[in-house]
Amino acid sequence: MELLFLGTGAGVPAKERNVSSVALQLLDERGATWLFDCGEATQHQILHTAIRPRRIEHILITHLHGDHLFGLPGLLGSRSFQSGETPLTVFGPRGLRAFVETALAVSGTKLRYELNIAEIEEGVIFDDETFQVIAKRLDHGMPSYGFRVVEKDLPGPLLVDRLRALGVRPGPIYQQIKQGKTVVLEDGIVLDGREFVGPPQKGRIVTVLGDTRFCEAAIELAHDADVVVHEATFAAAEQQLAHDYFHSTTIDAAEVARRARAKRLILTHISSRYQGAAAQQLVAEARRVFPNTELAADFASFSIPRG
């Protein structure tokens, strides 16, 4: 599991930062990539990475401001020309369907794969045997959502050394034991599979928040998360400006992570006014409140280990 940032700027593209998009790489977990937001030129940014558009399974749009959305029609169209044949679901606020369908219809774009558009409300928006995604509305100038991605706990590892010590050789019986079944060996010995499986491996939690002021919903989504991706459009000194424009400062983001007892915070959606040393000052401000803070840059990647 890895976060790969494709765009980390706010509002408009800049030389150092493209507009918003971040990929959650789930290649080992489900052979897929999930994309959060799709600002202008996201598909150009993808060309500089190992991401394969045909592997993109879900695209989750936090809100419908252009810097989070205008790259979507182009990416959907290009996926058809890059061997993309598997279904793709785009999640986002009400109005997303009209935007996508209009863009594709007016441009005459035909897709070779099944496109599903899910206009969301608060609550569980996705749930299968491996992951659950919860959405909550944040505090922004238009409907903006944050997403809590919860990996479900994995079965504990098979205690192979203990089985070998009993003379149990690898084979189909190992799968039965890992499933916790009771098995009978050739010599009549009965094994309770539950005694040969370690404790479950706790799933990871990744929280990706859309544009927002400081709010309780963000804290709830980030509770005990392994990593929180939070906008930090403005420095701490610009608190009033951030509030007026429905955005967050570095301190707002850090306070969310602190109150949520998150393990790690990554700042993104940085205003173009902060370049070089000024951008580094942003992360320094946040670390005074939440020490385990990092500043995202375009093409930066962050591994999310277990435990």
What is the pLDDT, as a whole number, of residue 200?
87
Residue ranges for the chain with pLDDT beneath 50: none
Among candidate residues 67, 226, 252, 298, the one labeled active-site is: 67
pTM of the model: 0.92
Task: Show the DSSP H helices in 166-287 as ranges.
Answer: 172-178, 216-222, 239-244, 250-260, 277-287
Q: Are 36 and 72 in contact (CB under 8 A)?
A: no
Amino acid at 76: L
Binding residues for Zn(2+): 63, 65, 67-68, 140, 211, 269
Binding residues: 63, 65, 67-68, 140, 211, 269
Sequence-distant contacts of 217-221: CB under 8 A, at least 24 apart: 217/136, 217/137, 217/138, 217/139, 217/146, 218/136, 218/138, 218/146, 218/256, 218/260, 219/256, 219/259, 219/260, 220/136, 220/260, 221/134, 221/136, 221/146, 221/147, 221/148, 221/260
Residues 6+ apart with CB under 8 A from 250: 232, 234, 235, 236, 267, 282, 283, 285, 286
Alpha-carbon span 91 to 95, nearest angstrom: 11
Instruction: Show me where the domains of the chain are located.
Output: 2-152+202-302, 160-195
Which is the CATH superfamily of the domain at 2-152+202-302? Answer: Ribonuclease Z/Hydroxyacylglutathione hydrolase-like (3.60.15.10)
pLDDT digits (tens, 9 = 90+) for 8-35: 999 999 999 999 999 999 999 999 999 9
Q: Which residues pair with 35 in a beta bridge?
A: 23, 59
DSSP reduced 3-state for 236: helix
Active site residue 67: yes
What is the pLDDT, as a whole number, of residue 166?
87
What is the pLDDT, as a whole number, of residue 38?
98
What is the pLDDT, as a whole number, of residue 243?
97
Q: From the CA atom positions of the chain, what is the Rg in Å? A: 22
Q: DSSP assignment of 174-206, as one string?
A: HHHHHTT-EEE-TTS-EEEGGGGB-PPBPPPEE
H or E, element range at 305: none
Residues 6+ apart with CB under 8 A from 302: 2, 3, 227, 266, 294, 296
What is the pLDDT, as a whole number, of residue 83?
84
